């Protein structure tokens, strides 16, 4: 019995010890839990305080940044333009005088009306318009075009144009280069191009109605443009007067509008070499003037052709006059009637050089720029004539230019076609 009582007491003691340990662990866990909650609350409070401080600081920084931007914007708006990149020049003539020009004054100074000038500016705007920079304001598009037109119309020195428009000499050169490049790229392919079949028929009808020449679609001629001696091969550009020139060749229609031009060939080339090196020769070789249908004239099948002077070689598509030696009456009639039609080419070159004096006076630019300027003038000639711009007779000049070289012993083709045309013209 005593042993059992001792065992029971031992069990009770063990249970009491376990209960006491459980209570102690429970209190310690609750104490740690309360401490952990206090720590979490403190951390949360500190985190919220830090977030608020960051927000306040970010808001303050944004306000400061906005304030600095406003100050800088005000500063850049009111600041003086830098003078290191721009020299102040007087431009009263362009800014004050030109806006009051009459139609006659626009035509006299810029060779076109204000309406055509505005149209030209809009056509060239994508290629010539500039943007303002932080250093200086760009020269307006209309002023840049006017500078280039003044150079082409008068061939004045760059210094005089610089003083007139109130810009630098370098800018005048750049305006001429940019304008010529823009016209050759954007305007020239539109106003000067080879005619299609419908256009060829229209040209042939015009020449036949006006001069009685069936199947004629144009007249070809060439002219010299004076230049300074180029650095490369200067002797190739020496003309008959001892000066230096390059050659401009063009084909015109009844109205004197160019539909084919070639510029830049050395004057040492005779007309045959000039013709064969031109795009016109290649175009004709591809069948440009030989449609499927021809017209029987004087017993000969005749296709479309152009009229040329005696220096050119006789071809099936290029009719030249009979040589001036012991001509028959029929040949004289042929020469007389075709000479009137060929005069449209000479008249076109006369008006081209009269309107754009840079083609008449010696040009001091390099050969490539002169070539670009010549093609630009041809495009402007077509533009002005097609828009009905007046040509003033006072622009004409009486200066004689040296002739081109004439080829000797050149193989010719087309005698039958010329004889057929001669018989046709003598039966009218």
Q: Which domain holds residue 328?
A: 195-426
The reported pLDDT for the residue numbered 103 is: 92
In this structure, are 236 and 99 located in the same domain? no
In a domain, 35, yes or no: no
Last residue of a domain, one of 126, 155, 190: 190
pLDDT of amino acid 111: 93
Q: Which of 276, 228, 220 is nearest to 248 (CA)?
A: 220
**What per-residue confidence (pLDDT) applies to 258?**
97
**Cα gap 144→157, rounded to integer Å:** 16
Total domains present in the chain: 3
| CB-based contact 277:317 (threshold 8 Å) | no
Sheet containing 305-307: which strands, arranged edge to edge?
A: 258-266, 244-252, 216-227, 305-307, 318-319
Same-domain status, 12 and 99: no
Pair 108, 163 in one domain: yes
Q: Please report, for the domain that includes residue 117, its CATH number.
A: 1.10.472
**What is the reported pTM?**
0.77
Q: Is 273 a member of any domain?
A: yes
- The 3-class secondary structure across 146-194, one letter per residue, is HHHHHHHHHCCCHHHHHHHHCCCHHHHHHHHHHHHHHHHHHHHHHHCCC
> What is the reported pLDDT for 293?
62
Q: Are residues 151 and 133 in the same domain?
A: yes
Indicate if 180 and 280 belong to the same structural domain: no
CA angle 287, 283, 306 (to 5 degrees): 85
Residue 391 lies in a domain: yes
Tokens 């509008």 sit at which residue? 257
Predicted confidence at residue 20, as pLDDT, reads 85
Report if residue 250 sits inside a domain: yes
Condensed to tens digits (0 to 9), the pLDDT of residues 33-65 reads: 888 888 888 888 888 888 888 888 888 888 888
Cβ–Cβ contacts within 10 Å for residue 27, how many?
A: 10
Q: Is residue 73 part of a domain?
A: no
215 and 317 belong to one structural domain: yes
Instruction: Tell whether 136 and 219 lie within a shared domain.
Output: no
- The last residue of a domain, from among 190, 207, 239: 190
Same domain, 206 and 184: no
Q: For residues 137 and 235, state if they share a domain.
A: no
Asked if residue 396 and residue 318 are part of one domain, the reply reads: yes
Query: Looking at the structure, do residues 136 and 167 belong to the same domain, yes or no?
Result: yes
Q: Is residue 127 part of a domain?
A: yes
pLDDT tens, position by position, for the chain (428 residues)?
A: 677 788 888 888 888 888 888 888 888 888 888 888 888 888 888 888 888 888 888 888 888 888 888 877 776 665 555 544 556 677 788 888 889 999 999 999 999 999 999 999 999 999 998 887 766 778 899 999 999 999 999 988 999 999 999 998 999 999 999 999 999 999 999 999 999 989 999 999 999 999 999 999 999 999 999 998 888 888 888 888 888 889 999 999 999 999 999 998 888 877 777 888 889 999 998 888 876 567 888 888 888 999 999 888 899 899 999 988 888 999 999 999 999 999 999 999 999 999 999 998 888 788 899 999 999 999 999 999 999 999 998 888 766 565 554 544 455 788 899 999 999 998 86
Last residue of a domain, one of 170, 190, 210: 190
Considering the domain boundaries, does residue 79 fall inside one? no
What token pair was written down for 183? 């016209």
Q: Is residue 143 part of a domain?
A: yes
- What per-residue confidence (pLDDT) applies to 145? 96
Rg (the chain; Cα; Å): 44
Same domain, 206 and 146: no
């Amino acid at each position: 019995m005593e042993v059992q009582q001792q065992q029971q007491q031992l069990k009770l003691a063990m249970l009491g010890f376990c209960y006491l340990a459980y209570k102690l662990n429970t209190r310690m866990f609750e104490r740690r839990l309360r401490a952990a909650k206090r720590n979490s609350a403190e951390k949360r409070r500190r985190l919220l305080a830090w977030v608020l401080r960051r927000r306040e600081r970010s808001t303050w920084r944004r306000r400061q940044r906005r304030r600095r931007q406003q100050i800088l914007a005000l500063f850049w708006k009111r600041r003086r333009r830098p003078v290191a990149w721009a020299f102040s020049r007087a431009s009263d003539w362009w800014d004050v005088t030109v806006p009051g020009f009459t139609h006659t004054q626009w035509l006299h100074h810029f060779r076109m009306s204000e309406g055509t000038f505005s149209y030209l500016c809009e056509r060239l705007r994508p290629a010539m318009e500039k943007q303002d920079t932080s250093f200086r304001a760009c020269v307006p598009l209309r002023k840049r075009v006017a500078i280039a037109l003044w150079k082409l119309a008068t061939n004045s020195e760059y210094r005089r144009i610089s003083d007139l428009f109130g810009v630098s000499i370098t800018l005048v050169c750049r305006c001429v280069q940019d304008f010529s490049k823009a016209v050759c790229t954007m305007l020239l392919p539109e106003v000067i191009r080879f005619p299609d079949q419908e256009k060829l028929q229209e040209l042939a009808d015009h020449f036949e109605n006006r001069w009685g020449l069936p199947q004629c679609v144009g007249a070809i001629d060439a002219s010299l443009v004076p230049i300074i001696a180029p650095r490369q091969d200067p002797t190739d550009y020496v003309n008959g007067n001892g000066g230096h020139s390059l050659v401009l060749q063009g084909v015109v229609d009844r109205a004197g509008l160019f539909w084919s031009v070639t510029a830049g060939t050395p004057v040492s080339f005779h007309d045959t070499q000039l013709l064969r090196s031109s795009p016109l020769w290649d175009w004709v070789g591809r069948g440009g003037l030989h449609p499927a249908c021809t017209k029987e004239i004087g017993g000969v099948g005749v296709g479309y052709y152009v009229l040329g002077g005696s220096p050119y070689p006789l071809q099936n598509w290029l009719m030249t006059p009979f040589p001036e030696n012991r001509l028959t009456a029929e040949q004289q009639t042929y020469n007389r009637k075709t000479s009137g039609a060929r005069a449209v080419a000479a008249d076109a070159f006369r008006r081209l050089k009269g309107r754009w004096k840079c083609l008449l006076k010696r040009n001091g630019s390099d050969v490539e720029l002169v070539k670009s300027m010549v093609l630009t003038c041809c495009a402007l000639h077509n533009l002005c004539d097609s828009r009905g711009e007046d040509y003033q007779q006072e622009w004409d000049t009486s200066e004689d230019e040296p002739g081109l070289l004439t080829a000797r012993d050149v193989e010719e083709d087309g005698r039958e076609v010329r004889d057929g045309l001669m018989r046709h013209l003598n039966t009218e």
